[in-house]
Chain A
Amino acid sequence: MHKVNLLPRLRNYGVRSLLYMLLTVGAVVALFPFAWMLLTSLKTYGEHSTRVFWPKALTTLPYSDLPRGREIVVDLYPPAEEWGGAPSSALPLLEGRILIDRVTAPVQEQLTREGLSPPFWIMILAADTDSEVEGYDTFYYNVNTRVIQQETVRVNWRAKRFLFFHFIQKENWKAPYFLSAPDMERWGPQLVIRDNDPDHFAVRVTWQPVTMFFFNFITGWVESDFGRYMWNSIRLTLIQLVGVVTFSTLAAYAFARMEFPGKNGIFAVFLATLMLPEVVTLVPNFSIVIQLDRFFERVLGIENAWLNNWTALTVPFMASAFSIFLLRQFFAQIPKDLHDAALIDGCGHLRFLLQVVLPLSKAPLMSIILLNGIGSWNAFLWPLIVTTRNTWRPITVGLSKFIEESAAEVHLMMAGATITIIPILILYFFTQKQFTEGIATTGLKG
């Protein structure tokens, strides 16, 4: 008896494991770009360009046995004579030195390669902040009188976070050594200026594992104003959602529950707009928005009422024929008796809609919110065209600008991509059931 049953069972197991294997292959294909993105976003520039697969940040090496942080006062004095090779406008006004006597393992590796070992000095430069580009300063590293490296560094004085590690030298300060800058910046000490006085800095020298780990994200965030973009995207999505939900419910209710002449005709026109690809209406819509902008400026005296403002970014998408269609289908299913009973109680359409229909339609409303929310967050082409400044530029456009600027720094690019994806991922993981089911039954992106 047992022998007879064993074979089909074994075959069944074989089939099932093949099934799971194929499904897993599918999942791996769907996910590997994300894994690549995360891995790359944790690498240093050197790791990516030497095709290292597993970033050092994901090992324990950099975080074990970290030196203790301390707060020190750096005396500043006029620059030494050897600085003379650089153009005078770029001269640091003052300079000081910080002694580093212990380092992390990756930095030790670097130092060994250069034939160095701690202790060494870090130059700290109090530079001229009134240069051509505000907030940026050009530094010249020179040996004796020869300029050997030039670098533009962002100095954020207001935040008092002046990080500067490139210039490392032994006690004999006329012989500077240049370590691989990105690695040093990441694994080296973080210098935070607590207080800057005319003649001294109070500097906090720390080795923070969190900063080391998320270094690319922090750099990307600071370099590309991601905070602003993120906030813009959140604002825009919320504004658009309020508009879409309000206008769609009203219109859908009218189509589902009210009688008026021309109902079918108007509904057909609404549905026809679903066929229009964005690229067809791109040019005329841009022209319309420009003219609206001019009209508001001339007649109402409001400058930039449309361009570079939330209006141009959200208002055209507040009427979504698809959302109206979806809601109408649902509203039409609500029993008519309910409405008649409410009418007898003297309840008008608006009150009926707000107090009876809406509480019953949580599921389709959720679908609409998710679809339009994702659509708004992911929107790219239109925001790219109607924004020229950062004031309302959403994160997708910000990311594309960042990609343009950091084309060579793939690790930063991937950190930016991760930042853009994370809010959507969080939303998706919490609502994925409504989501996949909503899309399966409706079948469209917002």
Chain B
Amino acid sequence: MPGSTRGTDGFKASKGMSAQKRREALQAYLFLAPATILLFVFGILPVGYAFFISLHQWRIQRGAFTGLRNYGRLLGSPLNLLLLAAGIGMLIGAYYVWRSIATQPAGWRTRLRIALAALLIIGGLTLVLGMDRALAAAAEERMTMGYLLSVLRTVFYSAGTVPFQLILAFLLANLLFQKIRGRSLFRMLYFLPYITPTVATAAVWTTVFEPRRGLLNTILMQIFHMSESNLPRWIFDSTGIVPLMGQWLGLSLPDWVAASPILSGPSLAMIAVCIYNIWVFTGYNTVIFLAGLGAIPYELYEAARIDGAGRWQLLRHVTLPLVSPTTYFLTMMGVIGTFKAINHIYIMTQMVGLGGPQDSTTTAAIFIFKQFREGNRWGVASAAALTLLGIILLLTWIQDRMAEGRVHYA
């Protein structure tokens, strides 16, 4: 290859140099060869191969070519998909209109825009909720194999973890950033959940959540004197959090709330998984936030203080904007992390069946794993995996767009 590229690109130098450069290029390719071959075989090739598999009926062995039918089985009818996409699109549109209002002067145009935004929000919500009905119907007919539902659960999972761990970590990092003794000790302790093997810590949390002998329910029973029949059943409970809260508060919610996968919210089992996730990643986020705080130039604080800024104003107008690249990075990592999380859900639901109870912790990644391992439907699993990759890329792009103008690189 180097011989054939003589005289092009980087090979415009004199002949003597070119021979030397050719030698160097050859050596560089040799240096790169092992890593490139491995990355190609186990990193890039699999994506194409997954697409190939997804076009077939594939149960361990390759079966008949089925085209895009696997995708159809996952996503349901094109109409449903279109509705969902339109709903999400309207919501995003509403967001943009909303943002443009902030920069406009007051007047009838603004009012129109507010009305438009409200309409868009209502329209989007209706569509998503309408989808919700379609989802329930489809799940009953086993049309979509529950893939869209699993994506919804993944969204719940992200929403139930990322904001909480970010807020907690930001608070802890700010506390640690004060002049205190033992900062490195605290940092080390907070970091512990992150580096210990997921399998082991998830097993520990499984026993913490265990309804009868677990630590949590023992505390609820012995310290808060809850009666044994009222104790939450954590990982064993597939009831949505909204109807559950209704029960605890003694409210009678209409049936269609409990029946709707969106309105009933994540199951209690999923909440348990979320709590575990927050426990693992808060320390990690704290350490990264700490590094981000350390990167803020001290002079900025000095200047703001001279201008008469109080503690709160310093936090709001100096720390928060300047730490935003870290926040952005952690949000991305957190969301993508929840989309690919398998290990701890695998361990925590081992007792109730993978992704259980009643599939209420089956996130998209677990769905893929179950299709692959339990169903031996490799075609479907690959189609789901590629769809998930698409969703992750889309999310990255959306977050990137949303971050524009909000993330300040100092």
A: residues with CB less than 8 A from B are 16, 19-20, 22-23, 26-27, 29-34, 36-37, 40, 48-49, 51, 246-248, 250-251, 253-255, 258-261, 263, 266, 269-270, 272-273, 275-288, 315-319, 321, 324, 349-350, 374, 377-378, 380-381, 385, 395-397, 399-400, 403-404, 407, 410, 413-414, 416-418, 420-421, 424-425, 428, 432-433, 435-436, 439-441, 443-445
Chain A interface helix/strand/loop/mixed: helix
Closest-by-CB residue of A relative to B25 is: A260
Establish whether residues A258 and B28, one from each chain, have CB atoms under 8 Å apart when the complex forms: yes
Residues of B within 8 A of A279 (CB): 340, 342, 365, 368-369, 385, 388
B365 touches A284 (CB 8 A): no
28 examples of A-B residue contacts, CB within 8 angstroms: A23-B175, A26-B175, A30-B282, A34-B192, A36-B215, A246-B34, A248-B35, A250-B34, A258-B31, A263-B28, A270-B35, A277-B340, A279-B340, A280-B47, A283-B382, A287-B49, A287-B53, A381-B343, A385-B373, A395-B197, A399-B203, A403-B206, A417-B199, A424-B196, A432-B188, A435-B195, A436-B287, A443-B329
The answer to whether A284 and B199 have CB atoms under 8 Å apart is: no
Known: A19-B180, A288-B41, A425-B196. A277 touches B46 (CB 8 A): no
Given A26-B172, A276-B43, A277-B340, check contact A251 B378 (CB 8 Å): no
Within 8 Å by CB of A315, from B11, B31, B38, lies B38
Q: Size class of B's contact patch? A: 35 or more
Chain B residues numbered 160-199 whose CB sits less than 8 Å from any CB in chain A: 172, 175-176, 178, 180, 184, 186-199
Query: Looking at the complex, which one of A37, A259, A275 makes contact with B204 (CB distance below 8 Å)?
Result: A37
Is the CB–CB distance between A276 and B389 below 8 Å?
yes
List the A side residues contacting B42 at CB < 8 Å: 281, 285, 288, 315-317, 319
B36, B193, B196, B198: which contacts A251 (Cβ < 8 A)?
A: B36
User: Is residue B112 contacting chain A, with contact meaning CB distance below 8 A?
Assistant: no
Q: Report the bound CA distance from A425 to B215 in whole Å.
A: 23
Are A407 and B196 in contact, CB atoms less than 8 angstroms apart? no
Given the complex of chains A and B, what is the CA–CA distance between A26 and B388 in angstroms?
A: 35
Q: Are A436 and B191 in contact (CB under 8 A)?
A: yes
Residues of A within 8 A of B403 (CB): none
Q: How far is the CA of A276 from the CA of B46 in the complex (A)?
A: 10
Q: State in angstroms the CA–CA spacing of A441 and B288 once bound together.
A: 8
CB within 8 Å of A: which B240-259 residues: none
Is the beta-carbon distance between A259 and B32 smaller than 8 angstroms? no
Q: Is the CB of B39 within 8 A of A36?
A: no
Contacting pair A400 B347 (CB below 8 A): yes
Q: Are B49 and A273 in contact (CB under 8 A)?
A: no
Q: Please determine whether A440 and B385 come into contact, CB atoms closer than 8 angstroms.
A: no
Q: Are A247 and B34 in contact (CB under 8 A)?
A: yes
Whether B201 contacts A33 by the Cβ 8 Å rule is: yes
Assess the A399–B200 pair: CB atoms within 8 A.
Answer: yes
- A396 touching B199, Cβ below 8 Å: yes
Contact partners of A255 in chain B: CB under 8 A: 32
**What's the nearest-Cβ distance from chain A to residue B180, in Å?**
6
Question: B39-68: which residues lie under 8 A (CB-CB) from chain A?
Answer: 39, 41-47, 49-50, 53
Q: Which residues from chain B contact A253 at a C-beta distance below 8 Å?
A: 31
Contact across chains for A414 and B207 when beta carbons are under 8 A apart: yes
Q: A374 to B195, Cβ gap below 8 A?
A: yes
CB of A443 within 8 A of CB of B288, answer yes
Apart from the given pairs A259-B10, A273-B39, 12 other A-B contacts in the complex at a CB distance below 8 Å: A37-B204, A255-B32, A261-B9, A282-B385, A283-B368, A283-B382, A316-B42, A414-B203, A424-B197, A439-B284, A440-B287, A440-B291
Residues of B within 8 A of A440 (CB): 287-288, 290-291
Residue from B35, B172, B201 in contact with A250 in the complex, judged by beta carbons closer than 8 Å = B35
User: Across the interface, do A23 and B38 meet the contact criterion of CB distance under 8 Å?
Assistant: no
